[in-house]
Each structure stands twice: as structure tokens, then as C-alpha cells.
Amino acid sequence: MEVLPLSQVGTETSPTPGPGIEFPPSPAPTAKPSRAPSVRSSHGSEHSGSSDDGADQQPSRPYPLPPVPQPIQVLPEDLKTPDNHVPRDSRLIRLTGVHPFNVEAPLSDLYDEGFLTTENLHYVRNHGPVPRVEDADVLDWTFTVEGMVEMPVTLTLRDLLRDYEQQTYPITLVCAGNRRKEQNVVRKTKGFSWGAAGLSTALWTGVPLGDLIARAMPKRGARYVCFEGADKLPNGYYGTSIKLNWAIDPNRGVLVAHKMNGDALHPDHGKPLRIVIPGQIGGRSVKWLKRIIVTSEPSDNWYHIYDNRVLPTMITPEASADLPETWADERYAIYDLNTNSAPCYPAHDERLSLVNATVETTSKVRGYAYAGGGKRVTRVEITLDKGKNWTLADIRYPEDDYRLAPEGETLYGGKVDLSWREACFCWCFWELDVPVSDLRDAGDIMVRAMDDSMMVQPRDMYWSVLGMMNNPWYRIVIHNEGHNLRFEHPTQPALIPGGWMERVKKAGGNLSNGFWGEKMSGEEETETAEEPAREICMTKPEVKKSIALEELKKHDGEDEPWFVVNGHVYDGTKFLEGHPGGAASIVGAAGQDVTEEFMAIHSENAKAMMPDYHIGTLDKESLTALAEPESESSSATRPVFLQPRVWSKAILTAKRAVSSNSKIFTFRLDHAAQAVGLPVGQHLMLRLRDPVTREAIIRAYTPLSDGTTARGALDVLVKIYPKTADAPGGKMTQALDSIPVGHFADFKGPVGKFEYVGGGRCTVGGKERLVRRFVMVCGGSGITPIFQVLRAVMNDKDDSTSCLVLDGNRVEEDILCKEELDEMAAANAERCRLLYSLSKPGDQWTGLKGRMDKALFEREVGSPRDGAADLVLICGPPAMEKSVHEIFHDMGWRDEDLLFF
């Protein structure tokens, strides 16, 4: 599907705009310049050739025009996502998986396209689904100017085009996370891994924001302007703010833009309307603009507070979860970009032949640089000896060509009037011819830039929890391979392997030692700031078999379940019986790529077992095809919510505290009649994603809701484990506690090796078993699976199975579901015995006191009885489960009679 209709929206040469769209004439219309094939100069900027089309021939212009974008279509990987209406370029590198869409271009492709970037290769930062705006609705798109103003305004895009003077000028947008991968290699931040191509430049057409604010007349005391988009996200609509005096300053050039490179905005870039803020981080340029709000204080939007900040370097990702006042401190908010530069050539892994090199032979080192806040990059310097000596590079500023536009010049319906503006809003290009003999003798190339305030890129990295504004010297390592020189950049974007930083860290180098991880002469041994994660081999080196998707799908059932982790194929058949989560966990993974959940859930011991099940590697094409998510199109009408192979979304509708550290979270299912679909005794998987990193957090829970009878809603009882001075706390429980009502969570299931069928009958690992007495030992939130089984037994009045429940806690408040438990025990006194024990009881406590120990179990449970159909169910903190296991072993109980949830 091509975007040709939209690409012609509002252009002056298009006599028939796209279906349903008819832009009114711009205030100063002019013919849209034709885009002739461009000729790229050595510095990488675009120069358009002259048009020779008779009456439509355009006068030559002193400034570059954008290259013509190639037709694009909706990609297969997007068809089953909410973005199934958005055409995209397949060259873009996805940084956060299939969805949401966060991408950068390959660095060489971005540089080669020149000064102006087509919409196809322009970087994209989306926090969630792209709002769908039909062509017929574009001109009627409304937005407001409101808040502390005398005259609130509601406008449509049609009004904006008809009533205001338009301007067109080039602006470079840069994500604050540009080059973040380097920080993530040193130490993982809360941000995903941008490479060095998180920036792009385009010609933007729109109305100066100051004109709209002036019409609304800000009140005395107004100091900020907030923006809000139409992209509904887990924590509300995306929004942020800038200072009012910046917003109304003509030299700052803030636009309410509706065109990019002369075309209507592409959906990924804000169709139909967005804010564009030159010189500031891209996160301030809100897309799909709906509200402009004048305020006295900075935005209180979640995304303004918890994104786009540089917190002090000593704050860890774990500590940051409990520092709301720190996040809200405006001193740490990022606005203007910092000065940065990167070499694009030589490219990563590029080789330079030495065979015919002479003393006169040179090689060109080329790249980009930018500054923030309207500052100009005034010098770029190259060193081949780690900073002892520097050489100035030649700099070219294509932006300055636009300052030469004749008076009254218009482009794409907007005035091109930069002659008076001193501010610089675009990247520049630099290059230096370096003798090949010097490169041969050097160990690396390093680059730094300086702006007109004499701010220079720092030598060393300033690591911070979000990994933003990374701008130390950019270093390319040179490997002399005899006949060739091979160049190695620091990192590659996303999960793409490669780069000297990963290599050095893997070899045990300390990337924070001030010498780029290399041990220098006389350097003492020092411990790294962070212990490198232990790398566990999960494959057999001798296994070389390549497996196609067709063969994998032949093993997606119960008999021989094959599944994929990190691109490798595993046969889970031998582990069906022994898997702690039951055979259903493996069968549910059959035929699927389960890398995310496997890595999030399993221990190092489990990962170390994987070579025993490794049978081959999925071929590249099959791996790409497998990445397409399964359809959930029928979720709105299907009778059962939980699905074993597909994550299903449920919306958080309520939180209810049941103790000082425990809450019941209520989630709304797809419709009121939908069943949960969870057999008694089994559990479900709950997944949350960090809104910044998109990193998955996955844990198993047993809900309070009766999984066999509940309809329309799901209650999950969770004990919150906060961070303390001695422990980092529970990653999932803290995340779950922090999400607001209206946020969604993903669920999958059922899983588990135990199921209570009724009448004393159950299955354990697929084998049937008759139980006449359950001994249920639990602590804290471990009551939930116990409660589920106990409720099923007690609710069946024809069931003669008895239950002994031993519930250990610290204080009385920690006893969860006590009222319900007491009620069940009282109503079924002949079959249910309930004992509570507190390790730190209050003065009024009359029950058992102390930890559950051997004396208690010997007195209340005793040794196993010959011929008795007893089964012990155990669930609680790891230390309690270990203690109970040891005590029951000493009492003569067999492992097959002890079941740990």
C-alpha cells in the first residue's frame, strides 16, 4: 500500500489532493519545487538538479531539497499490531521489537541520504500505537489553546492553513537517547538501545507557536506551555512542556507543523499535526497534537516527569523506583540538546586495503555533528593518539544555504526566511583526509565537537539511569590485519551484536577505567563498577542443524514439543514430566519463540540445563516469520480469556489495600460473560512492560477469583515487596503497585503441574491421584493457591476430602484472606482445621506463636500413615519452603507426597 494520496496532500502542484482532502490555499501560494534526481556532494548534503519540464520548470535554489522517498507499504510484521495501517520502510532497525515502533536507520544509509532525511528513514520514537486518522478527517482535526489565557481557542487544521502565515525551514530532531547503547553496555539503563542514528533532518512547514499563543493572550503568572497528544498510553496521553518565553521567542522557531518535506505528515511523524521544537530533544516535539495548555508550572504529565531526564549518576535503576521527588525535580529535566558528533565513515567493520597504499595515500573520515539551543558547532577535532594531539576537520553547514533564500521566497506554502535568524537548528557535516600511514600506526580514531559557547564533548561518559544525552568522544578502534585495516565502532543498535565495547566487556575489561576498558601501562588492577553478568551457554556447539519454520510447526503439539529461545530450537519432550511448571508450560510454548518469557522467568540453573535439549538453529527467514504475533482479533468475543500460546490484555480497574503491604488488583476482561479459564490448582503468567525500556517483567500468580466460575473480571492478590536498605524489593510487585488504574497487563495460561478435579481426585504431572487429606502449609501471599484448592474442596458438599491448613506469618495483619478462611473453616468444621502461627504476635494474639517448626508439624501432621491418601501442598517464601521440605523429609515424607506451588 503506497502513501501516494497522502504524500500529495496540500502540495501546490497537486490539482487533485487525496480522497476526501482538499486543503485551502496557503496565504502565499507558490509552485511546489519539483524534486529532480539529486547529486550528492562529498560532504553528504543533497543538491537537487534542475527541472526541465517546460512550463513547470523551477528556478534554481541556493539550498538543498529533499530526496524523493521511495514508495512504501504496510510491512508483514505490522499487520497483526495496532499499527496495521502504517506503511514503513523495511530498512529501519527496530529497537523495541515489533511494537511499539521505535527505529533508527542504518547509520551509513542515514548519512548517505544527505542533509535532508526522507520520511522513510527518519527516526521514530513511539510510546504506543499510532493514532489512526482517516484522510477525510484531516482538515477537521481539532486542537485547543487553553489554560492560563484570556481567550481560549479551539482550531481545526483547516483554520490553521487558512488564517495563519506558514513558515518552512529545516530542523534536525534528535532523540535524547541517541548513542544510548554505549551506556547500556557499560551498565544497563532503563532505556532501550539507540545507536548513533537517533537523529534526522527535514523541512517542516507550519505556523509559529507564538502566533497561536499571542491570539489566546496568556495571563500574568503564566510561565510554561504544555502539550498533549492523541496517543493514549498506559499512563495517560503523552504530554510534556517547555517554558513560555521559549515558546513565543521567534528565534527559537517553535512550529505547529503539518508538513514534512512538503508532504502531509506521515502517521509515524504525527499525522496530521505536531509540535516541532528546534534545538531541543525530540521528546518535547509532541505528535498528534490535541492540546496546548498555558500554565504556571511545568507539566504534571507522567511522561514529562518519568522520561527525558538525566538523574544524578549515583542513582541506580533499582533505587529510582522509590524517588518520586527526584523524578519531579525540574533541574534534571532535559530541554536543549548537548553538543555531539559521530563518524559515519569509516563504517563499522569497513576494511581499508593497504596493498597499494603510499605515503601520499589518504582516507576520508566523515561524520555529523550537532549542538542544542540554537548554538552552532564551531569545531570538530580528530585524534589518532587518544587525545595527545588533535587535528581540525573541515565543516560544512548546509543549513546556511537557506539563509541565502531571496526575500519573499516560499517553499511548500511556507516562507523561507532564515536570513535574520542567528540560531542554528540543524546538523552539520565534517570530514578530514587522514594519511593511511597514520591510520596504520594508530590504534583508534576519536572525534569531539565544540559549540559556540565553547562547550566541548567530554572525554568520559556520564552514566545515568535513563541513559540519555550520551556524548563522550566517539571512538573507532583500528585493527591492523596485515593487508587491511578493519574499523570497529563502539556498538551496534538494538540487540545487534558487535562493537569494541561489547568485546572489551566480554573479555573482562573495565569500561569505566578511563582508558576505554584497555589496561594501560602501570595501571593497577581495579574491580569493575558492576559485576559482569555470568554468561551461560544454552547450546551444544556440535549441533549445527538448521531448522525451517515448517519443520518447527510439525512439533507444536503435546507429543514432541519444540520451542525457540534466542534463535535456537529445543525439544522439550524429555522434560515434560520433570518440568516444575508442569507439562502444560512446555506444550504451551511448542512451535513458539518464547525467548522473552523464558529469560525473564528461569534461573541460571534452568538455563544451564538447556544444552541437553538443544537440537538446532532456526533459519533466519523462519525466525523473522515467527516474530509475527498471533492474532487476537477474536478476543472480544471468545468465551474464555486465558490462552496458552497468546498473551491477552486486561485493563486494571481497581486496587484495594487489604493490609499495609498487600493489595487486590482487579482486571476487566474482554466482556462481562467471559470466563477466566483457570483450572483449580493452576496459575497464570502476568506480564508488565517498563514504559521506557519495554523490558518484560513476567511472574506466575494464582488469582483470588475462582478460575472456573468467575466471569468478566479477575482479582489478583499481591503482597508488595518494597525496596529497603538491605534488599532491592520485588521487581514485579513494585511495578504492579505503581501502574495506574486504566493501565493494561498481559496474561497467559493456564500453567502448572497440579490440578484439582473434585471429589478428592487430582492430577499431578498428568498422573491421576486420589487424595483423602490435604495438608496445606503456607505463608504470606502463598495463601492464594492454597485458598483456591481449599475453596474448591469446601464448596463441594459431596466431597469428603479433609484439609489441614497451617498458615504462618509475622504479625496478624499479614494473614491474608483471614475472614474468608475463618468463614470456610467454621462452615466445614468436620472437614477443615485451620491453624495460624505468628512469629511476632501482639499482646492480644491467642493463637499459635513462633515459627512453624518441626515440633509443630510433628504435633499437628505427624509421620506419613501407611496406605493413607495424603498430599502436602506447600507455598510461601523460599526460606519457608526449604525449611518445610527438610522437616517433612526428616519426618519420613516422600517427595512424591510433597507438592510445591
Name the active-site residue from 78, 109, 175, 235: 175
Respond yes or no: is residue 895 known to be catalytic.
Answer: no
> Buried (b) or exposed (e) across 165-190, using 16+ Cβ within 10 A?
ebbbbbbbbbbbbbbbbbbbbbbbbb
Name the active-site residue from 307, 451, 737, 870: 307
Among 286, 347, 248, 351, smallest CA distance to 131 is for 286
* Distance between CA atoms of residues 58 and 164, nearest Å: 26
* Distance between CA atoms of residues 510 and 525, nearest Å: 10
Name the active-site residue from 301, 308, 470, 828: 308
Among 241, 455, 320, smallest CA distance to 729 is for 320
Torsion angle in degrees (nearest 10) through CA of 666, 668, 673, 674: -100
Q: Where are the alpha helices (DSSP H) in 10-156?
A: 107-113
* Distance between CA atoms of residues 762 and 869, nearest Å: 12
Grid coordinates in use for 511? 569500561
Respond yes or no: is residue 307 known to be catalytic.
Answer: yes
Tally of CB atoms within 10 A around 103: 24
* Distance between CA atoms of residues 39 and 22, nearest Å: 33
β-strand 263-264 against 255-260: which pairing, if any?
Answer: antiparallel
Respond yes or no: is residue 394 known to be catalytic.
Answer: no
**List of residues 6+ apart from 578 with CB closer than 8 A:** none
End-to-end CA distance of the chain: 51
Q: How many CA atoms lie within 13 A of 678 on its CB side?
A: 33
Cα distances (angstroms) measured from residue 339 to each of 139, 228, 334, 398, 482: 38, 28, 13, 18, 37
| Cis peptide bond prior to 100, omega within 30° of 0 | yes
Which residue shows C-alpha cell 526449604?
882
Quick one: CA dihedral 131, 132, 134, 135, positive or negative? positive
Tally of CB atoms within 10 A around 660: 9
Among 156, 395, 179, 172, smallest CA distance to 290 is for 156
CB 446 within 8 A of CB 474: yes
Please tell me whether 175 is known to bind a ligand.
Answer: yes
* Catalytic positions: 175, 307-308
Output the known binding site: 175
List the binding residues for Mo-molybdopterin. 175
